Structure 1
């Protein structure tokens, strides 16, 4: 059956070239249009990207869990409150460089390839993290210590600016349409396992070593470990090839070099990208801000909040978050799979509504002061994160076409985390100190998630559907055959989006109505 369908499509193309088939006949989906995913390459792509993501967020998480100690080492003469604000402020500095990294590396990723840029981000992150581990503190080089710390955190931020945008682009372009939510969610499994590994490492050091030893040298050990971890992650990442979607987009651009459509297929510059996709960029920006505000409240702010505000010792401040992070990380692929079944928007609605409803109870339980109530509060905070972050990785890349996907993700994601997520810990701590209320961070979470709820309303559903500007992607040839046979009644296929020439050949009023209902239609390229 598949061979006959494929032969039919080949004869149709030959007939069109010979003039036996009319060009004005509506374009139909054929089996050779559909991309059948190379499973071994998909497994290598997932492994390489997840391991790299784990290493990147291990580096980021370790600093959050050692923020109190680092504040004392690099600003010893300040008050405890000032030390906490300094260490969290330096953490926020990381996110200042992320938009620049997202813009620069995103543009390069759309031109040079996803794989090359993702290897570069790992090398840069591993080197910067290792150098933090060997950086002399204030007692040795004085004011240069905090200055150099800020420089290295800026380097980390530049690297991370290209990491998540590139990783999500990479996985979504490799994954089959019906399982894109599941495969993309594995990235955030790696991210939060990276946080968890960092928390576990720091906890083991705190449990086995004295406070003086931790303050003196041992805090550096988790940073030094980044170098061998980075080498392993880079090895995995170099074993994978660039995505079929990117390779086909490059080939299409070369084939269309002398045609008018070449400019539509080529990667856009920063300003052209903003002009063309400002609605998509704004939607992504708001969703990322909402999801990562509650996400970074849980991962990066909690150790400081539990220790500085609620009075837990540093060991418990780190250790209490560990089981919650592990449980949440393991649940993230489940919500990713759920989005493949019921849709991305429904799952994101659960994330935004639960953040609004659970924020105040979560902080009230933690303020109760018992171990059980603190863990319960952390679980309530982790619940919306699980539904939020698992679906951003599959929802956001689907807003942009292949030729501008890395760049679009780089701008929207990193601007949002720079302005809201990265600053969440320092803003929440400042709110606590300014208002004197331990409940103040909850209202910050509520405010951002109300905006996130509105963004989900305008978000276009992308579950089980081809990425913009790409042909359908499936796991087996049998799925491809079934897709072709059912293309007229399949609700997840829009032939007018797959083949824009159908719209151009139609009546003007019909095309205008379709454009108004479905938004901009990009020139198609095979996935």
Structure 2
């Protein structure tokens, strides 16, 4: 990255050196050379490439949820309607079994090879697997091999998705300036839910313009086939961006390290070493992801099945009713991301967890009322906590880990949580409905996971407006860099001891020397 002060005049440059760079005998302080001034064109390309890719990935995931009922009939035609629903939702859950493996493998590669390469690979793999689902023969053609191959392709999707969200959040948070990281990171989830919404709209158009027989026969495959050209467009955008300055700086720092101990500290950690070093952070992230995505996947992936199979809406209304709610929520997500930059991540996440606990039962009661207006209101109440939850996970979770282990830490915690809770949420909720006979059962599952989420927010460290661990401060302009350096001692969002651990060592050595001097020559103290 170019020197942020190259464009200033020589006199200003000399003046800044005198004012902002400490002498050799002074404690280590932040200097203008330390501060990263964001390359705005590159930031725009990074946001576009990451959001478009994220949109495409979640379009691929979403269309399966909206076509789950039809797919159940095509791949398990001789089973009962309840068994077909459980099968299709179970296959959806199978996708998430492969996500932790994808998160571990691709996360390790992302910390070693770079974020951009791995993110390009995840898109290629997802687009190919989704397209192949579209051309996969059903049960009437190849018998039992049809559901088996469907499961294999969903596992491939899960593996690629395991590296997508962890990599995308790592990528965008490392590019974003500290003061607006919440806003930029929330754009990822804008892309995610717009992907869901586009999938829902596409399926709805097909259902409104084609007969049920045509949809069941061939037309359900069209949204899957479209994934290939969409994927090519997304890959083009993603290949136009470079790796993040934070990753490049960390890699260069590890290469410059003078001794083996420092190299080991700066290098990416293996899985077991990462778990030993950051188990508290991994556990906090796991619980938050589980809570947020339980309610999130209840809204996006379970609702079409719930509205159709449990509440008796036809398939068109089961999809259409969720569409305006998804669009409104997606457009609101950047607002809550921006709010977290102002009032803090923890406060916004508290709103998400508390509102999920309070609104879950009223949400399902309104939907159970059976009118279109009440169902829409129930969906809005369910979407409210999702808006506050997911918009801030993308900025909060990467801040738990240092640069050298961020992709890997995110890959493990995020994907293990979505595998055990989020991906299974639709099938668990449907099973609870069938087991208890109560259409209200899913609400209590949401409440239970959000109570755990509330506890995780309590122990979460605030990260708004602060540098990421293992990285120097990041700002948007040279003027901000100068102001930051001038006010560093009183800035509540800067911890110089964290930025420069050697300050602590020097201070400890100085204190030890003073104590030793006091013992040998008390009169001088």
TM class by shorter chain equals over 0.9
Q: Distance in 1 between matches of 2:416 and 2:19?
A: 45
The match for 2:17 is 7
Report if the CA contact (8 A) 1:2-1:31 is conserved.
Answer: no
1:396-411 matches, cutoff 5 A: 396-411=397-412
Partner of 2:469: helix, strand, or coil? coil
Cα 1:81–1:11 shift into 2, 3 Å: closer
1:206-285 matches, cutoff 5 A: 206-256=207-257, 258-285=259-286
CA deviation after TM superposition for structure 1 residue 6, in Å: 4.5
The answer to whether 1:160 aligns with 2:131 is no
Which consecutive unaligned segments of at least 5 residues does structure 2 have? 1-10, 513-525
1:95-494 matches, cutoff 5 A: 95-256=96-257, 258-494=259-495
Which consecutive unaligned segments of at least 5 residues does structure 1 have? 16-20, 512-527
Cα 1:510–1:281 shift into 2, 3 Å: farther
Q: Distance in 1 between matches of 2:510 and 2:426?
A: 51
Q: Deviations over 1:93-118 (max 9, x none)?
A: 00000000000000000000000000
Report if the CA contact (8 A) 1:192-1:329 is conserved.
Answer: yes
Cα 1:189–1:510 shift into 2, 3 Å: farther
Q: Distance in 2 between matches of 1:119 and 1:91?
A: 24
Q: Distance in 2 between matches of 1:371 and 1:81?
A: 24
Report if the CA contact (8 A) 1:5-1:30 is conserved.
Answer: no
CA deviation after TM superposition for structure 1 residue 259, in Å: 4.5
Q: Distance in 1 between matches of 2:185 and 2:511?
A: 35
Report if the CA contact (8 A) 1:2-1:477 is conserved.
Answer: no
Report if the CA contact (8 A) 2:116-2:238 is conserved.
Answer: yes
Q: Distance in 1 between matches of 2:326 and 2:191?
A: 11
The match for 1:518 is none
The match for 1:66 is 67
Aligned length in residues:
502
Report if the CA contact (8 A) 1:2-1:481 is conserved.
Answer: no
Q: Distance in 1 between matches of 2:123 and 2:15?
A: 44
Question: Which structure is larger by alpha-carbon Rg, 1 or 2?
Answer: 2
Q: Distance in 1 between matches of 2:464 and 2:231?
A: 33
Partner of 2:312: helix, strand, or coil? coil
CA deviation after TM superposition for structure 1 residue 507, in Å: 3.2
Q: Distance in 1 between matches of 2:465 and 2:246?
A: 17
Cα 1:257–1:426 shift into 2, 3 Å: farther
Q: Distance in 2 between matches of 1:8 and 1:114?
A: 38
Partner of 2:261: helix, strand, or coil? coil
Q: Distance in 1 between matches of 2:277 and 2:350?
A: 27
CA deviation after TM superposition for structure 1 residue 504, in Å: 1.3
CA deviation after TM superposition for structure 1 residue 506, in Å: 2.1
Report if the CA contact (8 A) 1:177-1:463 is conserved.
Answer: yes
The match for 2:8 is none
Report if the CA contact (8 A) 1:6-1:32 is conserved.
Answer: no
Report if the CA contact (8 A) 2:20-2:31 is conserved.
Answer: no
Q: Give the structure-1-normalised TM-score.
A: 0.94
The match for 1:26 is 27
Partner of 2:463: helix, strand, or coil? coil
Cα 1:242–1:147 shift into 2, 3 Å: same
Cα 1:372–1:503 shift into 2, 3 Å: same
Q: Distance in 2 between matches of 1:11 and 1:74?
A: 68
Q: Deviations over 1:325-347 (max 9, x none)?
A: 00000000000000000000000
CA deviation after TM superposition for structure 1 residue 257, in Å: 5.4
The match for 2:45 is 44
Partner of 2:488: helix, strand, or coil? coil
CA deviation after TM superposition for structure 1 residue 258, in Å: 3.6
Q: Distance in 1 between matches of 2:265 and 2:410?
A: 18
CA deviation after TM superposition for structure 1 residue 3, in Å: 2.0
Q: Distance in 2 between matches of 1:508 and 1:394?
A: 36
CA deviation after TM superposition for structure 1 residue 7, in Å: 2.5
Q: Distance in 2 between matches of 1:31 and 1:406?
A: 28
CA deviation after TM superposition for structure 1 residue 204, in Å: 0.1
Aligned-pair Cα RMSD in Å: 1.4
The match for 1:91 is 92
